[in-house]
Structure 1
Amino acid sequence: MAAAAVEEIRASSYVGFDTITRQIEHKLLKRGFQFNVIVVGQTGLGKSTLINTIFASHLIDSKGRLEHDEPIRQTTEIQAVSHVIVENGVKLRLNIVDTPGYGDQINNEGCWDPIVKYIKDQHSSYLRKELTAQRDRYIQDTRIHCCLFFINPTGHSLRPIDVIVMKKLSEVVNVVPVIAKADSLTLEERLKFKERIRAELVYHNIKLYPFDNTDDYDEEEAQLNERIRDIIPFAVVGSERNVIIDGKAVRGRKNRWGVINVEDESHCEFVYLRNFLTRTHLQDLIETTALIHYEAFRSKQLLLLKNQAAGNPSPPPAQ
């Protein structure tokens, strides 16, 4: 009888709670979304150019040479730039954090410390706002959701400093490695280079995003993440210039072998990276930052505060 009654209610009554998805969508579209990306790598790997290529906008001034005989311009300090991008009514506030090229000096000890500190500082700032007695209704989120880690296309292996920096960063942020300027390698060299890098990541137990945790994903998401892990590191080419291929203007660049079409999947993996960052994993990157990296930071800080309040000796909170 009870089951029949339920079926009758379903058939004859319409409450309207199924519109909640449209209500949520309306609020989210009105508020907009925020995505924070930090780019890390040695000088001269085209970090700014790739970011501009991914988001089809001139967001960061390139540090590359304007003339062949001029020196490479360098980012000398951590710089954050913010842009609002609107696409089909969806507003995205994009924060890009550019970092100085690491490993450029003779003594590179601790060169990763300012980058790690910057990421932790964003967590600390968010936590302070959360703990304020009269906190804002919507806390501005400057926590870093994704770190694009640029690898020099040597074709050999990772540098020891790359391993150290990637290890340090993976503990506090979602790290996505990319092989920069991949058109400097042949397809065979690129494949072998990727295999060496993946082997080194496993050997050094470096946990990269997306994480191998099938419990948090449904079958479709788990399969997609598995395909992404088979591609990583993404071998990419960035370009803000148009070149003519078969009479059509496409984003690309010329090299010693011919013309590279940035968006041709047979030339490089730029399309896979762009789709990964914007079309399939953007929201998950944001959620993973909050639920894993920030939560670990938050728990540690609150435990330290509790110990200090109880008079127990403990180290000061990490900055």
Structure 2
Amino acid sequence: MSQNYFPHQRNGTVLSDAQYQALRTAFREVDEEKQGAIDSSLVPNLVGKLLGRQVTRNNNLIFYNTTKNGVVKFSDFVAIMSEAMAETTNWGRLQTEVKGYVGIDTIQEQIRKKALKRGFEFNIMVVGSSGLGKSTLVNTLFKAKVSRRSCLQSEKDPAVIIPKTVEVQSISHVIEENGVRLKLTVTDTPGFGDHINNENCWLPILEYINEQYEKYLSEEINVSRKKQIPDSRVHVCLYFIAPTGHGLKPLDIEFMKRLDKVVNVVPIIAKADTLTIEEREHFKARIKQALNEAGISTYPMKELETDEEDENINSRIRDQMPFAVVGSDKSHQVDGKEVLGRLTNWGLIEVENHNHCEFSNLRDMLIRTHMQDLKDVTHCIHYENFRFERLNARRKIDKGEDQESRC
């Protein structure tokens, strides 16, 4: 290879002469003693300065793996930068200047058109004991009768009766708004937490989530696979907390501890209109404390943030959680406008009024700001963890069978 290119490369990233010189210049500015090595603590800021963004968790792992005795040589620094550049297009000071109009700005519109033709998918699971308004809340979120229960012919339908064991039941709809089609799948879990003995009642739910990962994996590794793999993986699990007692119940903690590593868990306080504002704030504080003490990771997870903008947005969401919500699909007239709300002896609880409850905060996160991120985290984190464990287990089995056949 020409001396204009650094021979070390990873993930197919080859540095041009200009990029290589930019790295060398930045490294020399920090290497004040001209020893050809710098203190490892300086590397994250140096990477961030060059790329114009903070170092991700993955970059940190690469960084620590290449650090020796707290010192980083220039060759190690180039390896770290090559890995960081391979996983992003945010190259900051290392970008190549374009001298004239090319048209790459039209890519976004091309993607938008193809995506609109294909449509979108979103899969939501609701978990909680009966009577917490799960069906009503889902209907309120999408302003349509999309919950499983609301699609039954009659409230006397046998499916409404609480089952003896936890069941997992799904129903799908296609809804459209302003030319955007969404295939929405709502998964309900009747029977959860409704019995005297609720031991292991989370198990059917965990099995269902893993079954959807298994379906996707089977299609993905199939020799003749579909052009677009149907996605039945659960993108978010709304966990309904009863607005009673002093905080989380043992079952609440057990469920979220079992599932927070396999699905995006969003805890919400159901029927928040039964609490005064002061009671609501105290209740939320106790829940946050319990989640923290139990080591439960709820969505959005801090360790997955990749830049300052994400960090600021998600920090505000975490401050608001768990969302204290009220659901209602009934309209009422307020100052000549129709609003969704619940009429009580004390007045009208407006569902989308920030002063009345936090429903709009939940809706905005799920649909208007974080729907794609929920899907991305499901695919890149939860599914990837499942995929790694499953394929790794298969390799071990295959290796064992191969050794037996040689004996």
Regarding TM over 0.5, the answer is yes
| Partner deviation per Cα, 1:243-275 (whole Å, 9 max, x = no partner) | 233443311012243210101100000000000
1:25 aligned onto 2:112? yes
Q: Which amino acid aligns with 2:363?
A: R
Tell me how far apart the structure 1 counterparts of residues 382 and 307 of structure 2 sit (CA, whole Å): 21
Tell me how far apart the structure 1 counterparts of residues 243 and 284 of structure 2 sit (CA, whole Å): 10
How many angstroms does 1:146 deviate by?
Answer: 0.3
Name the count of aligned residue pairs: 301
Q: 1:255 aligns with which of 336, 341, 344?
A: 344
Q: Which amino acid aligns with 1:223?
A: N
Q: Is the 8 A contact 1:85 1:94 kept in 2?
A: yes
Tell me how far apart the structure 1 counterparts of residues 373 and 161 of structure 2 sit (CA, whole Å): 32
Q: 1:130 aligns with which of 220, 243, 264?
A: 220
How many angstroms does 1:101 deviate by?
Answer: 3.5
Counterpart secondary structure, 2:138 = helix
Q: 1:53 aligns with which of 140, 156, 172?
A: 140
- Equivalences for 1:201-220 in 2 at 5 Å? 201-213=291-303, 216-220=305-309
Aligned twin of 1:43: 130
Counterpart secondary structure, 2:140 = helix
Tell me how far apart the structure 1 counterparts of residues 206 and 243 of structure 2 sit (CA, whole Å): 24
Aligned twin of 2:238: 148
Tell me how far apart the structure 2 counterparts of residues 185 and 312 of structure 1 sit (CA, whole Å): 60
How many angstroms does 1:181 deviate by?
Answer: 0.5
How many angstroms does 1:96 deviate by?
Answer: 0.5
Counterpart secondary structure, 1:176 = strand
TM-score of the pair, normalised by structure 1: 0.89
Aligned twin of 1:286: 375
Q: Which amino acid aligns with 1:310?
A: K
Aligned twin of 2:209: 119
Aligned twin of 2:10: none
Aligned twin of 2:266: 176
Which sits farther off after the overlay, 16-25 or 302-311?
A: 16-25
Aligned twin of 1:317: none
Q: Which amino acid aligns with 1:39?
A: V
Counterpart secondary structure, 1:253 = strand
Q: Which amino acid aligns with 2:299?
A: Y
Q: Is the 8 A contact 1:43 1:74 kept in 2?
A: no
Tell me how far apart the structure 1 counterparts of residues 188 and 347 of structure 2 sit (CA, whole Å): 31
Q: Is the 8 A contact 1:119 1:143 kept in 2?
A: yes
Q: Is the 8 A contact 1:155 1:190 kept in 2?
A: no
Counterpart secondary structure, 1:59 = coil
Higher relative contact order (Cα pairs below 8 Å, separated by 6+ residues) = 1
Tell me which protein shows more helix as a share of its residues: 2
Counterpart secondary structure, 1:10 = coil
Aligned twin of 2:46: none
Counterpart secondary structure, 2:367 = helix
Tell me how far apart the structure 1 counterparts of residues 392 and 117 of structure 2 sit (CA, whole Å): 37
How many angstroms does 1:21 deviate by?
Answer: 1.3
Tell me how far apart the structure 1 counterparts of residues 306 and 139 of structure 2 sit (CA, whole Å): 31
TM-score of the pair, normalised by structure 2: 0.70
Tell me how far apart the structure 2 counterparts of residues 165 and 62 of structure 1 sit (CA, whole Å): 26
Which sits farther off after the overlay, 152-161 or 172-181?
A: 152-161
Aligned twin of 1:228: 317
Aligned twin of 1:316: none
Counterpart secondary structure, 2:400 = coil
Tell me how far apart the structure 2 counterparts of residues 160 and 62 of structure 1 sit (CA, whole Å): 30
Q: Is the alpha carbon distance of 1:153 and 1:98 closer, same or farther for their aligned partners in structure 2, counting shifts above 3 Å? A: same
Q: Is the alpha carbon distance of 1:62 and 1:83 closer, same or farther for their aligned partners in structure 2, counting shifts above 3 Å? A: closer
Counterpart secondary structure, 2:381 = helix
Q: Which amino acid aligns with 1:233?
A: P
Tell me how far apart the structure 2 counterparts of residues 74 and 175 of structure 1 sit (CA, whole Å): 26
Counterpart secondary structure, 2:192 = coil
Counterpart secondary structure, 1:119 = helix
Larger radius of gyration: 2
Tell me how far apart the structure 2 counterparts of residues 129 and 16 of structure 1 sit (CA, whole Å): 36
Q: Is the alpha carbon distance of 1:244 and 1:17 closer, same or farther for their aligned partners in structure 2, counting shifts above 3 Å? A: closer
Q: Is the 8 A contact 1:166 1:206 kept in 2?
A: yes
Name the Cα RMSD after superposition: 2.3
Percent same amino acid among aligned pairs?
Answer: 52
Q: Which amino acid aligns with 1:220?
A: E
